[in-house]
Chain A
Amino acid sequence: MTDNEWEPKIVAFCCNWCSYGGADTAGMGRFQQPSSLRIIRVMCSGRIDPMHVLNAFLEGADAVLVTGCHIGDCHYVNGNYKAEVRYRFLEEMVRELGLEPERLQLNWISASEGEKFANFVRDVTAQVKQLGPSPLKPEGVN
């Protein structure tokens, strides 16, 4: 990688009980992954308010990832169902706004799936690099 190549800024919301562990596992397993990721730990994906996601875009995120436990595995019974309902909604909104749909992604990742987490981040980074910086990025943020 050359020094002047653009690196996307990706915000990932990770559930404390699964995907946050997954990110940890990815590190422990020494899976190579890009440094473009900023993780925000939440206690449950059900805690993610659509507003958090929109705010991330407005603050200059090039992509936002919503991650949580596999359906049926929620630590709080049904938080991830709620997250999915909201996500489907946000997805439509992002599309209607005219943002590329690749900029918002959902994935269910358990604590043991370190490789899946690393691959997911790598995929998204590659996709976003193709798309370029987000059109919602405020002036002065890179």
Chain B
Amino acid sequence: MVRVGDKLIGYATDPDVRSRGASGGLVTAVLAAALEKGLVEGVVVLKRIDEYEAIPVITDDVQEVLASGGSMHAVPVNLAKYAAGRKIAMPGKPCDVRGVIEQAKRNGVDLESTYIVGLNCGGTMHPVVTREMLVRMYETDPEDVAGEEIEKGKLIFRTKDGEEKAISIDELEDAGYGRRENCRYCTVKIPTSADLACGNWGVIGEVAGSATFCEVMNEKGKRLLDNAIDVGFVEVRPADGKAIAIREKVNSAMLKLGDEWKERVFTGIPDQERLTYYMEQFADCIHCGACKEVCPVCTCGEDSKCTMFHSLADNYRMSMYHMVRLLHLSDSCIGCGQCSDVCPVDIPVTSIFRRFADPAQKKRNYEPGMDLTRPPFLEVMLK
């Protein structure tokens, strides 16, 4: 029996899952066990297409969960919307988890029947940029790559004939590659708002690379893990002090780096030039609505203010669509970066939204997606 707050080292009992999973296959096994025992009706897994592409699918087949893609750094899809209206278990980066919680606040997701296994995340990469990076920086054919890994600040690619090449992430990012911009300044690396917070930070010694550090965050996490142990899919043992300390150290190093990036990305635009800057950026907008469609915190559906009150016939200096979205997201933007990813005309939507959201959230000491107790603050009285 595990308890809430426990910090454990665990791995899948099935040797095949254990060796194939990124770090011991614990997450895969926990998800499969939840399905096996009927705790949930489906599990969201990534179905691998190639090294840079995967589609999230909801499956009720245990075998399919066990054979899922595992963790992929070059697939920055946010899974939050897959949880809406279903009884599922899902793995998730901190931004996926925060998205689900923001959805739950707006009644998009029933958290009681949704189990989330959080994964530590230091950042994800854009698939197209990754391919380009492989050619330019690694001098490797993207099709030859068989696996990637981030270790000790280095991004390592393994080719099909077993060769490994590592370049430090700092070097890559200085050259314009590496992690997506929003991941660089992201403030949540360990998903403490998930039910279980898992990752390979703090896994040391003989189990390094073949086990997962797992923190039980709440009752649901306990249920999830107990269930996996009962079915015999997972084995755990308490993490020692050294492991916990190392996990903390990695986390704080990542956060510090994030703060540095924040300063680099959000250089102040002088007062007089700001309006022109925003107008020029949004002038390229073709009003496809993709940024709204992928947004993990938007729950408006089709009848949303941003689209309903926006007309292309208006000759406004700045589109009503973006004005409403700027306002709506100021209290809930989690900085997942999906909007920038999908924008067909490359408007830096995420960083513009963050310019509005960051000070507003900081001022109210509000971190969206971190707990259920604080509702979205634009919709309620604060006093």
Give chain A's interface residues, CB within 8 Å of chain B.
49-51, 54-55, 58-59, 78, 81-82, 85-86, 89-90, 92-93, 96-99, 135-140
Contacts and interface: CB of A to CB of B under 8 A. Distances in A.
A93 B316 contact: no
Given A58-B316, A93-B330, A138-B315, A98 B274 contact: yes
Contacts of A92: 330, 356, 359-360, 363
Contacts of A49: 305
A93 B356 contact: yes
B315 A139 contact: yes
Interface string B250-288: 000000000000000000010111111110000000000
Interface in B292-331: 305, 309, 314-318, 320, 323-324, 326-327, 330-331
Contact of A54 (B278, B323, B331, B355): B323
A81 B381 contact: yes
B383 interface: yes
Nearest to A92: B360
Contact of A99 (B275, B356, B377, B382): B275
B359 A96 contact: yes
16 contacts: A54-B324, A55-B320, A58-B323, A89-B327, A89-B331, A89-B360, A90-B327, A93-B326, A93-B327, A93-B330, A96-B355, A96-B359, A97-B274, A98-B273, A136-B316, A137-B317
B129 interface: no
Interface of B: 269, 271-278, 305, 309, 314-318, 320, 323-324, 326-327, 330-331, 355-356, 359-360, 363, 377-378, 380-383
B324 A51 contact: yes
Contacts of B276: 98
B330 A135 contact: no
A82 B327 contact: no
Name B's interface SS.
Answer: helix
Nearest to B278: A97
A58 B318 contact: yes
A99 B314 CA distance: 20
Contacts of A139: 315
B323 A85 contact: no
A86 B327 CA distance: 10
Contact of B315 (A50, A78, A140): A140
Given A92-B359, A96-B356, A97-B278, A82 B381 contact: yes
Contacts, number: 76
B323 to A, nearest CB: 5
B378 A138 contact: no
B283 to A, nearest CB: 13
A54 B271 CA distance: 19
B318 A136 contact: yes
B272, B327, B360, B382: most-surrounded residue (chain A CB, <10 A): B327
B381 A54 contact: no
A85 B378 CA distance: 7
B274 to A, nearest CB: 3
A52 to B, nearest CB: 10
Nearest to B274: A98
Given A51-B309, A81-B381, A98-B278, A136 B356 contact: no
A134 to B, nearest CB: 9
Contacts of B327: 50-51, 54, 89-90, 93
Given A82-B381, A98-B269, 10 more contacts: A51-B327, A54-B324, A58-B314, A59-B316, A78-B381, A89-B360, A96-B359, A97-B274, A98-B274, A135-B317
B313 to A, nearest CB: 12
A70 to B, nearest CB: 15
Given A96-B356, A97-B278, A89 B320 contact: no
B275 to A, nearest CB: 4
A138 B316 contact: yes
Contact of A85 (B309, B320, B380): B380
A135 B381 contact: no
- 5 tightest CB-CB pairs across the interface, nearest first? A98-B274, A98-B275, A58-B316, A54-B323, A138-B315
